[in-house]
Amino acid sequence: MKKSKVDLKKLGTQKYIVLIVLIALYIFFCIASKTFRKPTTLISLLDMSFYYVIMAIGVAFPIMTGGVDLSIGTGVICYALFGGTLVRNMGAPVWVGILVAIIFGVGIGLLNGILVAVMNLPPFLATLCTSMITRGLGSMCKATPWPTGQQDGAWFHNIFKITLADNTKIPVGFLIVVAAALIMGYVLNHTRVGRYTLAIGSNKEATMLSGVNVKFYHIMAYVICGLFAGMASIAYASAIPTVQPGTGAGMELDAIGGAIVGGVSTAGGIGTIGGTVFGAYVICLLKVGLPFIGLQAYWQQIITGIILIGAVMIDIVKKRRAQF
Amino acid sequence: MKKKVLAALVSAAMVSSLLVGCGSSTGDTAAATAATTAAAAAATSAAATEATAASNDLLTGTEFEGVTAKEAYNFSVIVKSFQSTYWQAAITGMDMAKEELGITYDAQGPNSESDIADQVNMLNSAISAKPAGIALAACDTKSVLDSLQSAKDASIPVVCFDTGVADAPDGSVVATVATDNTAAGSVAADKMYEILKDKIASADGQVRIGEVNQDATALNIQQRGLGFINELIKLVTADGKTVAVAGNEYYVNAAEGANGDEASADVVIEVAVPAQTTVDLCNTEASKIMSKEDTIGIFGSNQTSAEGVLAANNNLGVLNADPSKGMIGIGFDAGSVIKAAITDGTMAGAVTQSPLLMGYYSIYAMTMAANGDKVEDFPMNGYWYDTTNMTDSQIAPNLYD
């Protein structure tokens, strides 16, 4: 018994357990399905992971303050729709569309932050409201395809995936995900923004009493989340041919689920970016892998739900051990 | 003191950046809306001018010939959502009829085609506002039955368009203006078999033809999906081959005439249904089928699932309109992504409905009902289109972006 405790400590955090689960799941799907083994499936999986992992890295920050951001699902679609409308219907260059999508994300993040940190709205309610607002705003636009093929501006697909002349795909977006994870891991552990994010989550009163401008750093957590939602909207637009108004609700739950599977505590104060990234990959792997082994769509949701319960249970057990 | 000044500065900066953020986004919104409205207005006026010239053509021979509105009716229109450009084409058609008849209508729809409860609420509010008639495209045909009864009790005529409601209470639905979806699905199967006939006849082992349906609940998708499956079964068995249906339980159980099992049949029709009606989940389902070595064709039975097939093909690169070079992909409806894929030879073709005419005739049907005249159901065809006929005068107007 004692030995297992030591092992747990040596493992340090949930993130290595999640990494092992991720690898085990991948191997399981490869064994169970011949078609899953194809490299093209891995490329599809990566396509999907780009927007979910980027969203998860962002949303980990509000969760670590003890809050949540429910607006990122509909937000991602809304930002992609506005950017796409600018490019396709109003003749703006693609980089303007990308910039507008990201700035829009930061703006909504800032709004969330002010509602939560300054106006003291419960994060759940505040971001539920902004999720409705972004869904409505997005529905003002028409279903918008971003440029593809030979069209002007189709180059933006190369940000996440380069297609060579012989149709070979190079998923360069993976490097972006790795870079984002490393940068945000550094931000979380070695900068004030990150340290205070965790401090607010574990004890907001104490953090305030020690002279930290809690409101500012609390807002920053939501701004980071908005920035990443903005970036995820570009990843989404580059992987999916048409961005449809009115969709996106539910995507935030997959991203939040990824962060939680990765060991970010829903009570705040605990979490790692590495764990979040691995957790988000587990969710994506389930979304892609389960249909491949012949499970019908509803099983996919049931199994994901059960895995989330497991992850939250680990969180609770860890806390209990820390208490006694 | 210093801290207070700093705090004031920070909050000033935050407020100003918020204002800037809001300013730019509302600017975009206004601009985007203006652009959309302008484009829609241009399309409508062009269509309307054309229609005044050709309105006799559109109405000649139909039950709507010579219909005029007795009063300036106000109708209520409830679509499935404004998610795809399909519905915007229907609204354009309704606007054409509106101009000709001098009536008005309010159009609304839920955020997505899965928001069944929202749509039922909209329908109930519309009934309590007592319009002269309601045109309804039901997201879920079972959920609207109670509301249809109350519309009947309130003597409001209901015209179903796009999707028929099979079990509607007697007398509540005065007419249905919809594509014959079973026939439209079988058009896709006829073309699929025509293109793949030789390949199937000369195949060494089992071959697979996929179908992605965005759901297993809406009547039009069910009919279209089964129209495709059943027609394909008929064609394959007529040539002495065995066929099995695999995948989604609803479609497997509802298919008729399959004479083989999945392990040994010459042809397997594999049906996939995603958890939600989004392109990214249709993409995963399509990838699953298109990754299999023995798959020779795939059909996406509406715009969303056909775009899912194309999204999957982005990575797989297996589709080709020439059966000797790759897998045959057939879509449904239009939209710029599908049209581009057909033009460049990725997709073999697609079946289109006529959303514009569907909207147009729905308003006429509602006007007749409001006038107190008897209206008959108005079934419409699905049309095959590929590179050879995309610009034909009968096809082109239906191929919305």
**For residue B12, what pLDDT is reported?**
45
Q: Which of A48, A143, A213 sits opposite B280 (nearest CB)?
A: A48
Q: Best interface-test mutation with B: which of A296, A299, A300 has the largest number of B CBs within 10 A?
A: A296
- CA B280 to CA A232: how far, in whole Å? 14
What stretch(es) of chain B map to CATH 3.40.50.2300? 37-179+354-381, 182-352
How far is residue B155's CA from residue B153's CA, in Å, rounded to a whole number? Answer: 5
CB contact under 8 A, A244 and B112: yes
Q: Alpha-carbon distance A303 to B363, whole Å? A: 46
pLDDT tens digits, one per residue of A204-235: 999 999 999 999 999 999 999 999 999 999 99
Which residues of chain B have a CB within 8 Å of the CB of A216? 10
**CA nearest A285 in B: which residue?**
B284
CA distance A323 to chain B (A): 37
Among A40, A85, A104, beta carbon nearest to B316: A40
CB pair distance less than 8 Å for B14 and A103: no
The nearest CA of chain A is from the CA of B104 a distance in Å of: 22
ipTM score for this prediction = 0.86
Set of chain B residues whose Cβ sits within 8 Å of the Cβ of A148? 337, 340
Closest-CA distance of chain B to residue A268, Å: 25
- Predicted confidence band at B5 (pLDDT cuts at 50, 70, 90)? very low
Nearest Cα residue to B328 out of B308, B345, B312? B345
Cβ–Cβ under 8 Å, residues A121 and A71: no
Both structure tokens of B109? 């729809």
Q: How far is B304 from chain A (nearest CA, A)?
A: 9
DSSP annotation of A270 reads -
Chain A residues with CB inside 8 Å of B7's CB?
213
**A187/B365 Cα distance (integer angstroms):** 63
Instruction: Spell out a b/e string for A176-208, using b for 16 or more CB atoms within 10 Å of the CB, else e.
Output: bbeebbeebbebbeeeebbbbbbbbbbebeebe
% chain B with pLDDT above 70: 86
Angle at CA B228, nearest 5°, toward B400 and A143? 25
- Considering only residues A218 and B353, tell me which one the structure prediction assigns the higher pLDDT: A218
Q: B37-179+354-381: which CATH number, 2.40.50.100, 3.40.50.300, 3.40.50.1360, 3.40.50.2300?
A: 3.40.50.2300
- Report the alpha-carbon distance of residue B358 to residue A111 in Å, rounded: 43
Mean pLDDT estimate for chain B: 85
Query: Is A104 in contact with B25 (Cβ distance < 8 A)?
Result: yes
Q: Find which of A102, A115, A141, A244 to mutate to test the B interface (most B CBs within 10 Å of its CB).
A: A244
What is the C-alpha to C-alpha distance for residues A188 and A54, in angstroms, rounded to an integer?
15
pLDDT in tens, B202-231: 999 999 999 999 999 888 899 999 999 999
> Residue B269 in 3-state DSSP?
strand
Q: Is the pLDDT of residue B336 over 90?
A: no
pLDDT at A26: 95
Predicted pLDDT of residue A246: 81
B365 vs chain A: nearest CA distance in angstroms? 28
Please judge whether B111 and A245 are an interchain contact, meaning their C-beta atoms are less than 8 angstroms apart: yes
At residue A59, the pLDDT reads 97
Q: How far apart are CA A83 and CA A146, in angstroms?
A: 8
Largest CA distance in chain A: 66
> Taking CB atoms and an 8 Å limit, are A296 and B280 in contact across chains?
no
Looking at residue B9, its pLDDT comes to 45
Q: Which of B9, B16, B20, B25 to mutate to test the interface with A (most CBs of A within 10 A)?
A: B25
Q: What is the CATH code for A31-323?
A: 1.10.3470
Cβ-Cβ contacts under 8 Å between A and B: the total is 152
A321 or B247: which leads in pLDDT: B247
To the nearest whole percent, how much of chain A has pLDDT over 70? 95
Question: Would you tell me which CATH number, out of the four given (3.60.20.10, 3.10.28.10, 3.40.50.2300, 3.10.400.10), belongs to the domain B182-352?
Answer: 3.40.50.2300
Cα B125 to Cα B119: distance, rounded to the nearest angstrom: 10
Higher pLDDT, B112 or B8: B112
Give the rounded distance of the alpha carbon of A301 from its chain centre: 18
Which residues of chain B have a CB within 8 Å of the CB of A104?
A: 21, 24-25, 28
Q: Give the residue on A whose Cα is nearest the Cα of B81.
A: A246
Residue B385 has pLDDT above 90, yes or no: yes
Whole-number Å distance between alpha carbons of A168 and B316: 10
d(CA B367, CA B135): 11
Chain B interface, best mutation among A79, A119, A142, A217, by max B CB count within 10 A: A142
Q: Is the pLDDT of residue B29 over 80?
A: no
Q: What is the pLDDT of residues A259-311, one digit of tens each?
A: 999 999 988 999 999 999 999 999 999 999 999 998 887 888 888 889 888 88
CA torsion B198-B200-B205-B211 (nearest 10°) is: 150
Highest mean pLDDT (candidates A102-116, A241-255, B248-262, B371-385): A102-116
Identify the CA nearest to B113 among candidates B143, B135, B93. Answer: B143
Angle (CA) A250-A304-B315 rounded to 5° is 70
Strand-pair partners of B380: B179
Question: What is the rounded CA–CA span in Å between residue A131 and residue B208?
Answer: 42
Quote the CA–CA distance of B272 and B257 in Å, as a whole number. Answer: 19
The residue of chain B with its CA nearest to that of A34 is: B292
Give B207's DSSP letter.
E
| Whole-angstrom distance, CA of residue A106 vs CA of residue A115 | 14
Instruction: Reply yes or no on whether the pLDDT at B329 is more than 80.
Output: yes
The better pLDDT of the pair A71, B353 is held by A71
**Angstroms from B265 CA to nearest CA on chain A:** 18
How far is the alpha carbon of A159 from chain B, nearest alpha carbon, in Å?
A: 15
Q: Which letter does DSSP use for residue B105 in this model? A: E
Mutate to test the interface with A, among B111, B292, B310, B344 (most CBs of A within 10 A): B111
Distance CA(A63)–CA(A307), nearest Å, equals 19
Residue (of B145, B179, B140) closest to B162 by Cα position: B179
**Phi, psi at B378, each rounded to 5°:** -130, 85
What ranges do the domains of chain A cover? 31-323
Most confident stretch, A144-148, A175-179, B18-22: A175-179
CA of B93 to nearest chain A CA: how many angstroms apart? Answer: 17
Task: Select the residue of B110, B291, B304 nearest A38 (Cβ to Cβ).
Answer: B291
Nearest residue in chain B measured CA to CA from A297: B275
pLDDT higher than 80, residue A9: no
